[in-house]
Structure 1
Amino acid sequence: MTKYALVTGANKGIGYEVVRQLAERGYDVFLGARNEEFGQKAVDSLGLSNVTFVQLDITDSQSIQESVRTIEGITEHLDLLINNAGIALDFNIQPSEVKVEMLRDIFDVNFFGTFQMMQAYLPLLKKAEGSKMVNVTTDMASQTMFANGDVHPLNVLGYNSSKTAVNSLTLSFSKELGSEGPEVMGVTPGFTSTELNGNAPGGKTTAQGAEVIVKYALSETNYHGKILNNDGIIPW
């Protein structure tokens, strides 16, 4: 039976590479992107027959519902949902200097957008045995690791706290779903040089960052209700 995956924010960066890696492993992949032109260009540049563009703005509930209907027109189940779409607007701004409007914009995408995606796609995921929901997070969202200085000390209030809230979503949904599935987990690719951080030097390539996400998305081990980095389970 064909396996289907949806990746959000996938026209560039880590999301784009996740699409490629899943497609190369035989998945039919829906490449979700807000901008139709950029999304279609990404599909064309991949040149893989098992990748399909789906217009998807995760801050727009109507767009999400339309994407569900589009995918339901192709398949009655979804095996993987990779919630990759996210923004970071407050790099290089001290927490005390962040404008509340900016915080709202960050949470609108990273938290409320991810929540809406999880809620909207749960019925399709429930129809596939062994399905998974993977929320892309950051190790800086681990309160324990950040407090202990175990991660990069970027005190980015909006981005970090919105991803901490995504970790909370991951835990809450996992508690509700229990062993019935789908499996819900959070994965941090680790420091990766992307447009999100202004292509900061010294990080992994987007392909390397994507490999971490794909590794857990396809793992035989059950990581329900966990957050993970490349080395395994990390604290909340």
Structure 2
Amino acid sequence: MTPIVFVTGGNRGIGLEIVRGFAKEGCKVLLGCRNEEDGEQAIEDIVGADVQVIEMDLSNDQQVEDTIVRAEAVYGRIDVLVNNAGVMDDADWQDLDVSKIKHSMQVHVNGAFTLIKQLLPGMLERNYGRIINMSSGWGSFHEGMEGPLAYAVSKAALNALTLNLANSIDDDKNVQINSMCPGWVHTRMGGRDAPKSPEEGAETAVWLGLQEEDGPNGKFFRDKTEIEW
């Protein structure tokens, strides 16, 4: 079976490299992004692969639900979901408006959950599915929750969502839900001083998406190695 993959925030940075990575593995890929033209431009050099662009806005839950219906109709199903889309608000708590926290939670947690809620039932019914949530060490209690408040708290909540949902999966089901940290990556969000390339940041997501039946569930990874929450 050729996996069908849906990647949010797939038009640049790590997301685009995740799209490339799955395409190189022969997967059919749906690239989710806020602007269809940006997505089409991003995939111009991905030659010989089956990649389709899906316009979506994670800030609107109803639109997300409607988009997933359209996305599933393209190939008939979605086997792998990568919740990669993210926002970075680096304001200190003294200067942070509550609306900014709400926006970070909407993109990182609410939007991700809306997608999972739409797709997980089909994965369970078909007895095959992989969900990868793009988190961060900045949202890790083990690493001190050292990131900017809105970003760190929303990523920690995404980790909690990951573990709670993974615990709900019966052991006999071939469905896996995991979080990952890409590390400090040279992207628009990570900045030019970051030591890792987007390609390196994407590797763990592709690796998790192509895990065999006995692969991990309810775990947190960086560089294909399990780390603490």
Q: Considering the TM-score relative to the shorter chain, is it more than 0.5?
A: yes
Alpha-carbon shift at residue 132 of structure 1 (Å): 0.5
Q: Which residue of 2 aligns with 1:191?
A: 184
* Distance in 2 between residues matched to 1:134 and 1:56, nearest whole Å: 18
Q: Which residue of 1 aligns with 2:111?
A: 113
Q: Write the letter of the residue equivalent to 1:158.
A: A
* Distance in 2 between residues matched to 1:87 and 1:158, nearest whole Å: 10
User: Is residue 204–residue 221 contact of structure 2 (8 Å, CA) maintained in 1?
Assistant: no
Alpha-carbon shift at residue 120 of structure 1 (Å): 1.4
Q: Which residue of 1 aligns with 2:169?
A: 177
Counterparts in 2 of 1:66 and 1:47: CA distance versus 1, 3 Å: farther
* Distance in 2 between residues matched to 1:116 and 1:65, nearest whole Å: 7
Q: Please, which moves more after superposition, 25-34 or 213-222?
A: 213-222
Q: Which residue of 2 aligns with 1:160?
A: 152
Alpha-carbon shift at residue 231 of structure 1 (Å): 5.2
1:212 aligns with 2:213: no
Counterparts in 2 of 1:195 and 1:109: CA distance versus 1, 3 Å: same
Q: Structure 1: where are the runs of 5+ without partners?
A: 148-153
* Distance in 1 between residues matched to 2:154 and 2:25, nearest whole Å: 31
- Please give the per-residue CA displacement for 1:141-197, whole angstroms capped at 9, x wherever unaligned: 1101226xxxxxx53111011000000000111111232252100011111111123
When the two structures are aligned, how many residues end up with a matched partner? 227
Q: Write the letter of the residue equivalent to 1:44.
A: E
Alignment RMSD (CA, Å): 1.8
- Please give the per-residue CA displacement for 1:86-128, whole angstroms capped at 9, x wherever unaligned: 10122xx323332212111111111111111111121332344
- Please give the per-residue CA displacement for 1:12-55, whole angstroms capped at 9, x wherever unaligned: 01000000010110100001111111112112232344101111
After the TM superposition, which residues 21-60 of structure 1 pair with which residues of structure 2 at under 5 Å, given as runs? 21-60=21-60
Q: Structure 2: where are the runs of 5+ without partners?
A: none
Counterparts in 2 of 1:202 and 1:68: CA distance versus 1, 3 Å: closer
Q: TM-score, normalised by structure 1?
A: 0.89
Q: TM-score, normalised by structure 2?
A: 0.91
Q: Write the letter of the residue equivalent to 1:214.
A: V
Q: Please, which moves more after superposition, 160-169 or 181-190?
A: 181-190
After the TM superposition, which residues 57-96 of structure 1 pair with which residues of structure 2 at under 5 Å, given as runs? 57-90=57-90, 93-96=91-94
User: Is residue 6–residue 30 contact of structure 2 (8 Å, CA) maintained in 1?
Assistant: yes
Where 1:133 maps in the other structure, the secondary structure is strand
